[in-house]
Structures are given as C-alpha cells and as structure tokens.
Amino acid sequence: MTTTAVDPSVGLTAAQVEERRADGRTNAVPDAPVRSFGQIARANILTPVNAIISTLFVLILVAGYPADALFAGVVVANSGIGIVQELRARSTLRELELLNAPAAVARRDGASVELAVSDVVADEILVIGSGDQIVVDGEIVSAVGLDIDESLLTGESDAMSKHPGDDVMSGSFVASGSGLYRATAIGSDSYAAKLVDEARVFKLADSELRSGVNTILRWLTFIIPPAATLLLIRQLGSDDVDTWQEALQGTVAASVAMVPDGLVLLTSLAFIVGIMSLARHQALAKELASVELLARVDTLCLDKTGTITTGEISYGSVEVLPGIDDGFVSDALGALGASDPSPNATLAAIVEAHASPDDWTADEVTPFSSARKWAATHFTDRGSFYLGAPEILLEPGDDTLGAVARLAEAGSRVLLLAQSDGAHQGERRPDHLEPLALVSLEDTVRDDAAEILEYFNSQGVTIKVISGDNPATVAAVARRAGVRNADTGVDARTLPDPDTEFDAFTTQVLSTPVFGRVTPHQKRAMVRSLQSEGHVVAMTGDGVNDVLALKDADMGIAMGAGSPSTRAVAQLVLLDNRFSTLPLVVAEGRRVINNIERVANLFITKATYAVLLTLIVGLAGVPFPFLPRQLTLIGTFSIGIPGFFLALSPNEALVRPGFLERVLRYSVPAGAVSGIAAYVVYDVTRRMSDVTLAEARTCATITLLSAGLVVLIVVSRPLELWKVALAAGMGALYIGVMAIPFLRNYFQLDLPPSDAWPVVAAGTAIACVGVWLVPLIVERLTVDRD
C-alpha cells in the first residue's frame, strides 16, 4: 500500500486517520496477560487438590457411603471463593490500570492531541520528550538533543543519540531531549510486541510464601499415594474389616485428611484481598507477590525529588556573580528556558520567573541529561550558555564553589549559569566556562516524610537517599525529613568504579546513607551492590533517571505523577503520589505473610497426623480410626472456619525469614503428637469389651479435635479476646453436634461408656500439652544444633 507523505508539523488529518482505521492500520496490540473469565474458572476448578478430592468423592460413592461425601463441599468452596475474589480483584485493578495506562501525544491537523496508545494509527506523527515511552516503532523526523535509552530491550547501558532518519523501537524511552517520530510498525508488528509475544501468558509471580506452599504440596504428592495404597491393601486383608467397601471407606478418610485442601485457596485469597486493600488506597500492585515484597524489604532507597519532597520545584533566587549585569543574566535564563521545547521541572520553574527576550535566537540545543547533569544552548552571535550542576561545569578549586556550598548546605538546589564564547560542542563540556550566576531552587519536603521515615527506621529498615543533586543539598533535605546520620552527603563521583572495583564500591554504599551527584547507572549499581550482600531492596523514583534502578530492585515503586517509563517498570505505582501509602503496603504485606504462616501450620499439622495415622493403621491392619465425615468435622472446626478468619485478620508483626523451616518445625511435631495420641486413645478404647468401634472412633474424634483446637490457639499467638472466642466457639459447635441427635447420628458419634472417659481425658490432656510443649523442645534442640 502506498504511504502518503505526512508533514511533521501538521501530522495526519482527520480524513487520513479515518482511512487508516478503515484499513485496519491501527495499533491493536495483544491484550495484557490478564486471565479471562473462562481461564479464571478453569484455573480455580481444575486444580490438583480439586482433582484429588473429586476422585475421592467418586470412590466414596462407589463404596456406597454418600453420607461420607461431605468433604466434597471443599471443591465448591475452593472454586467459588477463588473465582469470585479473582474477578473482583480483576475489576478493581482494571479501573486503576486505566489511570496508569501510558498515553501518546500525536500531531493531528496541526495540533498536539493526547491519545490512548491503542488509538495510534500508521504514519502517525508522535511527540516525545524526556521520560516518555516509545509506544510504537518509528523513524525520527526531528530531534533536539534526543537520547533514547534502549537498555530494557537490548541491554545496552548507554543512551543512544538519535537524529532524523534513525529508527526507534517500542519499549525504549527518552533519556533526554525531545523530538517527533513517524509510526512505521504498529500493533503486533512492533519490536516490543514481537519480543513479548511468547511471554504473554498470565502467571503468578514467584514469592517465598508460594514457593514454600508449593514445596509442601510436592512432598505430599510423593507421600500420599504409597501411604494410601499401603492402607488399602492392609484394610482389605484385615480380619477386623468386613468388606471391601469398609476398606475403601477407611482409605478415603485417610486420603482426605492428608490433602491440605484449603491451603492453596487461603494463600491466594490472602494475596488477592491484600491487592484489593492496596487498590482502595490508590496503590496499583502489578503482581500478586508485590503485596509481600515490601514487607520483606530491609533497605529502602529513596530518590529525593518527588519522594521525600513533593516534586514541585519552585524558583528561589538568582545570585549574580560580581561584574555581571543582572539584566543580561535574566535574559540568558529566560532564553535558555524557552529554547527547550520539552523543558523539565527545573527549566519550567525558571521560565516562570524569567521572560524570554525576543532578540535571542537559539540555533543549537543540548537538553538536560541526568548523566551529564547540564543543559546548553547556543544563541546566534551570543555564544553558548550552560545551566547545570556547578561541580560538573566548574573546575575543582574555583572560587564560585564556596558560594555553591553555602547555598547547598541551606537545602537549596543550586544551578550554575555559565557562558562559553567558543563554538558549541554539543554534549561535550568546553574546557573553559565563565560563571555568570547561581540559581537557587527550592524543594518542599512532604509534611508526612519525617513520620514515615521514622516508621521505617523503627521497623529496622535502612534508609538510603540517592539523588543527582548536590550532596550538601541532598543531605540538608534528608535531615529535614528525618533521615538518620545524614550530616553530610557523599559525592558519587568520588566512588570506586562498580565495574572494576565492585567490592570497594559496595563497602562505600553499605556505610553511607546519603549520596549526591549519582548517575542513573550508579543508582542501578547501588541496588545491585546491596542485593549482593543479601539485602532485599526497594527503590522509589519518579524520573527517567530512576528507571534502571527501579527495574533491578526487588521492589520498584513509582509515583503516579512520575514519568511513563518509571510507571511502566515499577511493581507498585502510588497513583495519588502519597508517600504515606508505603506503611500501609508494609502492613498489608505483613498481614499476608504472617497469616499464611499461621494457616499453613494448621493444614500441615493435619496432613502430618493423617499421614502418621495412615502408616500406623496400615502396619497394624486395624479399621481406620475415623470416618470421612468425622475428619471433615474435625477439619472444619479446627482448621477450615478458623483458618478463614486468621488468613484475613490484622497482623503487623515483624516478618522473619525462614517461612518453610518454621512451619515444619512446629507443625510436624504437633501433628505427630496429635496423631499418636488419637491412635492410642482409639486403640485402647477399641480393645475394651464394652466399647463398640463407633464409640472408639468417637473417643479418637474428641482427642484429635481437642488437640486441633490447642494448635489453633498456639498458632494464633499473640492471643486476643476474639481469637480465644473463636477457638471456644469451635469447641462449642462440636458440643452442639454431640448434643443434637440428628447431627450426632449423621456423624456416627456414639457416646462411649463411662469407663472409657478416663482414657479419653488422659489422652486428650497429653495431646493438648504435647502439641504445645513438644514443638518448643524440637525448636530449642534445632536452634542449639544450628
């Protein structure tokens, strides 16, 4: 198809846009990796746990005991709750993602209009400036000091200078400068779309919690089949088991108990509820695991501007150096500000204070770059004027640096205005510059910054402030915000090279709380150095200079008002720019982590005693101590109902590493004590001449449920009134089942004779003390050994 030439200053006309839409030449990209309703339903219904429970349901029906099929209700509960909660979360997150979605600015009919990325059409003329994403592939048609960072696509660390005729790839972003480019490859034909096409599959991000839960499930998949097979074979050959149906009934009972049917559900439910809770505070978490990451963070790296400060830069004053005309400086500042078609916040503040003179003509512009830390413009017949970091533009020892230090120590952001009469040297700083004036700009520290930083300090989180500003300025702002040990800031230009002296660089980073004059690549190196020492690092930022560090941090946090590139790579976006949301994220993460640990203790305790009982009964060749319906009753009152409340309850306890080891250290001994005590009570009472099999099973049920309620109380610590009431309520419900004839008969809970009760009481007492005491002994022995 022939492409009509498009005037970059005008862009496409309305007719040309409609023609391209009619031809299908629009930026239709594959949907983001979000599951459809059908995928959500399948993922929540067709699970390994549901498959096992459904198989056991069929087997119990084949055996002719439909009353024992009560356990199958967990399939409906798991699937229904999982589907509803994920749909609610998807709806909530979609609303927030609309606020966070990248936009494009296009030239149409001679005007600049903002478009959704999906509304871009072929040959569109797109406007780009510092921090903007390249949303489709294209060809540069005009550029002013345009540097494109393609590191997220190619791994190339240095930004690439772009000129008319050069290609740009979607997925890269503007490091500095501004320009126009024409869309050449859109939709699925774009470079970034091709790269991620094979990866566009919805997946849950890795997390320590989910990894631990999955490890437990893998172990059980190897343990359950042989244990159940052994039990079935022994039951079929036992003289105490009359029919194959009873043998199958006992095997199903054991298998149901060994499956941690609600653990996966409550884990996912806790994550989803956490995500939705953050969404209500305008915090967009892009992955389920994001809700736990910040709770595990032990080092928080803050970019000064837009994080500790509000990000609103106000013009302070100008200090004209001796012998320089005030009016000349004002004209130069106004002309510099007006020369950049896409000024950053600093230049925008200067433009408001200094009008642009009519007789200054810019003929070459070098926009500000975080790497260079200065901007420059050459004006016809007037020379080149530079505005940037004094320490970069001035020679060491220059007298002007004394005045810079004085202003910086007061907390002002200081820029130097300097002039060069020689030829403009583009991105290279001239050997000699004449200082003209010092410009002071003011950052406003957030009202709640001190309180929030003190919260993180109290939680054992190390704070590091990393900024591109003057070290003295950064330190002054950090002190005002309450950062500890921020007496001075270290100039990052004096740090060892992380590429050749990584160990020395890391040592300096670990010991220093405040850094100034940090380049984007140094920020990334700082994050990596902290990670190399085992730290879990969060990085906050809002500018294009933060992108690389945000991408590499364990938890990247961007402000909603930040550049599109930072919002694209961050795992958490604070859409309302409220720094005060971070403690809420920490609290939510702690709730999820600590509560899932509690719930996991309950389920693994149950799986442990079920496996142990299966092995003991399989070796002894006696009838199984419980019917499936009785184990369902025990699981519901000691795990299922209380586990639901525990998983969603408030919990801001400090997060400790070693989730899986800690769960196994408690639940395996507690489960072993519970299982042994229940079997001993069952075996002793079963051998009594006046006790029936049903009565012996009732004795075992009382013992196991009592032990389960003590486990519930232990894992609920620290105890609160509602937790004690929850355990007491579960016990009262069981008493109610025993008291109501219909329910007692349904669950086949026959009251044992009086001479069996001392055995029940003794066994129950030993079990209750054991599930509290034995894990403590095991933990002490394990810790002492370590």
d(CA 669, CA 93): 42
Phi/psi of residue 373, each to 5°? 70, 30
Strand 434-445 relative to strand 537-541, pairing? unpaired
DSSP 380: T
- CA distances (Å), 210 to each of 266, 370, 659, 749, in order? 11, 39, 10, 38
d(CA 301, CA 362): 39
Report the candidate in 518, 737, 694 with the shortest Cα–Cα distance to residue 70.
737
Give the bridge partners for 537, in sequence order. 299
d(CA 589, CA 541): 21
Q: Tell me the three state secondary structure of residue 366.
A: strand
Q: What DSSP assignment string belongs to 667-701?
A: HHHHHHHHHHHHHHHHHHHHTSTT--HHHHHHHHH
Query: Are the CB atoms for 547 and 569 separated by under 8 Å?
Result: yes
Q: What is the helix (H) or strand (E) element at residue 194, kind and residue range?
A: helix 191-196
Q: Give helix 73-100 / helix 263-280 axis angle, nearest 10°.
A: 30
Q: Is the peptide bond before 33 cis (omega within 30 degrees of 0)?
A: no
d(CA 659, CA 535): 17
303 flagged as catalytic: yes
736: left (phi over 0), alpha (psi -120 to 50) or beta: alpha
Query: Are the CB atoms for 430 and 391 separated by under 8 Å?
Result: no
Give the bridge partners for 573, in sequence order. 284, 558
Active-site annotation holder among 123, 137, 149, 303: 303
Which residues belong to the active site? 303
